[in-house]
Homo-oligomer: A and B are copies of this chain.
Amino acid sequence: MITTPFERETLGKNTQQLVDQLLEIGLALSATESLDELLHLILTKSREISFSDAGTIFLVKAEAEPAVLEFKAAQNDSVVLPDHVQQYTVPLTAQSLVGYAALKAESLNIADVYALSGSETYQFNRFFDESFNYRTCSVLVVPMQNISGQVIGVLQLINRKRQQNAILTPATARDLTQPYSPWEEHIVRALASQAAVIIERNHLLKSIEQLFEGFVTASVQAIEARDPTTAGHSERVAALTVRLAEITNATTHGVFRECYFSDRQLQEIRYAALLHDFGKIGVPEAILNKQKKIFPEHLEVMRQRFALVRRTLEMETAQAKVNYLISHPHTPHSGEHPCDHCAFFRHLDSELQQRLHLLESYWHTLEQANEPRVLDEEPLARLQDMTHFYYKGIDGQLYPLITASELEQLLVRRGSLTQAERQMIESHVTHTYEFLSRIPWTQHLKNVPIIAYGHHERLDGGGYPRGIGAADIPLQTQMLAIADIYDALTASDRPYKKSLPVETALSILRQEADEFKINADLVELFTQQQVFRVLGHEA
């Protein structure tokens, strides 16, 4: 393949420089993650090695139907290229130089493209030359092949200069350039393929990162769907937390002037925030969705019981009448009323009505108490009374109208959950931590579990589940806690908590900060820098 023995002359540099360049390129290519940087690197370095005036890169867009070559990067020493070149594509056919190289997986090494015989399948497109007053002479087009030989792109070098620093004009271009040597072709082609391999590897890495991110997001959504009142909560909290962290980064004075989170730390914060409520999957739906103090099906049991009690009272009254009539055989008294038994019956009936009335009013109280509101004193007392209202069950035993467990539920002072149920909800934090701890986080995400773990802890030690204090709560977690509270207050879909206006939510946050529950400096930053705008909220 290599035909000229005069490598030194051909390459216009000594071996030592060339070897150094190749070593440097190998290292730089391997170390570059961004596709754009990589494309410009390979353009710069291959032009440097080959003394090329200009170069372009096209990548195969295989998803397109039919597949096309997409223009990706260009460099030119003699022409000032516009900052933003219109994106364009070239059909993947043998009619263009780049299309030919891509389709055939062959290099094209042309001494002067203006001298093409016209018998070739490919043609040189003079559009660029005409638009930019340029003269393309020698061209080297090499396929960028991955490890299986598949062409993923094309590198095109233009105008091999005799002197590296020459600036070309249409008038001088022919004199100042020369054809590419076979050895240059060989070297450039090898570098192009190394770039292809690295581009693919980077693409794979990015795809798997996206896959992970996509899976996490979809799982979080699936879990949130169990509790319709929190749809979107995790995403919003993640957006708020990351924004707050970015703002501490931008802060150049005050307590956060030294605080800086790297991109990787921001990603760690984002995952911690996104997953902070993942453990809710371990909390039964009935508890998550409990709206009143008594579960609806159990209220039905109680409704039937009240009916049973009512019927029992009716039965007992009827029975009392039977007993009375048997023990007080009444003499017939020629239609004369009221008589003895009538008076007693009236007494019994009126007593029954009173009892039934009481029962009805108890039911009314119960329905009132069942709402997740703060209870007044009066219903409280009446609930206690109900436990002393006994009725005779069908087994003949006496039972209270409401059980101790029902009383406990109805006596809940705030919200709808008993202490045990609240503990079940609160256990989501531990579930989250246990879940996240089982995951083999990469080095850069290793703090995700611990950041998420503390999101219900409070600076004064009054939070849960560990009751740790300010010194033990990471700053990232303190941010997450504020975002979590803010979203809980302003989200429109939490039951029995109307969504609050931004101002009110902020003043509640300030109040919590005054009580040393959450970080006052962060709350100030949150307010001052209007972090909530990331959700589209306006102060």
List the interface of chain A (C-beta within 8 A of B).
2, 7-8, 15-16, 18-20, 22-27, 29-31, 147, 183, 186-187, 190-191, 193-194, 197-198, 201, 204-205, 207-212, 214-216, 218-219, 221-223, 225-226, 278, 281-282, 284-286, 295, 297-298, 300-301, 304-305, 307-308, 310-312, 314-315, 318-319, 321-322, 325-326, 329-332, 341, 393-394, 435, 438-443, 445
Known: A7-B15, A201-B201, A222-B278. 10 other contacts (CB 8 A): A7-B19, A29-B30, A201-B205, A205-B205, A207-B440, A207-B443, A285-B286, A286-B286, A301-B301, A318-B322
Which chain B residues border A27 with CB–CB below 8 Å? 190, 193-194, 197
Q: How far is the CA of A352 from the CA of B307 in the complex (A)?
A: 20
If A218-B438, A325-B325 touch, whether A394 touches B197 (CB-CB below 8 Å) is no
What 6 pairs across the A-B complex have the smallest Cβ distances?
A318-B318, A304-B304, A315-B315, A297-B297, A26-B26, A23-B190
A186 to B23, CA, bound (A): 10
Alpha-carbon separation in the docked complex, A322 to B329 (Å): 12
Chain B residues, Cβ within 8 Å of A281: 222-223, 225-226, 281
Task: Enumerate chain B residues within 8 angstroms of A311, measured Cβ to Cβ.
Answer: 308, 311-312, 315, 394
Give how many copies assemble into the complex: 2
Choose among A23, A26, A204 the residue with the greatest number of B CB atoms under 10 Å from its CB: A26
Q: Which residues of chain B are within 8 angstroms of A211 by Cβ–Cβ distance?
A: 212, 439-442, 445
Please state if A214 and B438 are interface contacts (CB–CB under 8 Å): yes
The contact sample of 24 A-B pairs, CB cut-off 8 A, is A7-B16, A16-B183, A19-B19, A26-B26, A26-B190, A26-B191, A27-B190, A27-B193, A30-B201, A201-B205, A205-B205, A208-B208, A211-B439, A211-B440, A211-B445, A218-B438, A219-B219, A221-B438, A281-B281, A295-B297, A304-B305, A310-B394, A325-B325, A329-B332
Q: Contacting A297 at CB < 8 Å: which of B225, B301, B330?
A: B301
What's the nearest-Cβ distance from chain B to residue A32, in Å?
9
Which residue of chain B has its CB nearest to the CB of A2? B16
A205→B207 contact, CB < 8 A: no
Could you tell me the distance in whole angstroms from the C-beta of A532 to the nearest C-beta in chain B?
Answer: 28
Q: Which of B191, B223, B301, B315 contacts A318 (CB 8 A)?
A: B315
Q: In whole angstroms, how far apart are the Cα atoms of A208 and B301 in the complex?
A: 52
Is there contact, CB below 8 Å, between B201 and A19?
no
Chain B residues with CB under 8 A of A445: 211
Residues of B within 8 A of A218 (CB): 435, 438-439
A501 and B160 alpha carbons, distance in the complex (Å): 77
* Interface residue from B212, B284, B332 paired with A212 (Cβ < 8 Å): B212
Given A19-B18, A29-B30, A297-B297, do A215 and B214 touch, yes or no (CB 8 Å)?
A: no
* Interchain CA distance A443-B440 in the complex, whole Å: 23
* Chain B neighbourhood of A322, CB < 8 A: 318, 321-322, 325
CB nearest neighbor in B for A315: B315
Q: How far is the CA of A329 from the CA of B326 in the complex (A)?
A: 10
Give the residues in chain B near A305, CB-CB below 8 Å: 304
Q: Tell me if B16 and A19 are in contact (CB < 8 A).
A: no
Chain B residues, Cβ within 8 Å of A312 = 311
**Complex: A286 Cα to B19 Cα, angstroms:** 70
How distant is A437 from chain B, measured CB to nearest CB, in Å? 9
For A209, the chain B residues whose CB sits under 8 A away are 208
Query: In the complex, are the beta carbons of A31 and B197 less than 8 A apart?
Result: yes
Q: Are A210 and B440 in contact (CB under 8 A)?
A: yes
Q: Which of B190, B215, B341 makes the CB contact (< 8 A) with A439?
A: B215
Tell me if A225 and B183 are in contact (CB < 8 A).
no
> B residues within 8 A CB of A325?
322, 325-326
Selected from B18, B30, B210, B226, the residue in CB contact (under 8 A) with A194 is B30
State how many angstroms separate the Cβ of A197 from the closest Cβ of chain B. Answer: 4
- Chain B hits for A183, CB < 8 A: 16
A321 to B322, CA, bound (A): 6
For A330, give the chain B residue with the smallest CB separation: B329
Most chain B CB within a 10 A radius of its CB, from A18, A187, A205, A318: A318
**Set of chain B residues within 8 Å of A18, measured between Cβ atoms:** 15, 19
Taking the closest CB of chain B, its distance from the CB of A278, in whole angstroms, is 8
Bound together, the chains give a CA A268 to CA B93 distance in angstroms of 33
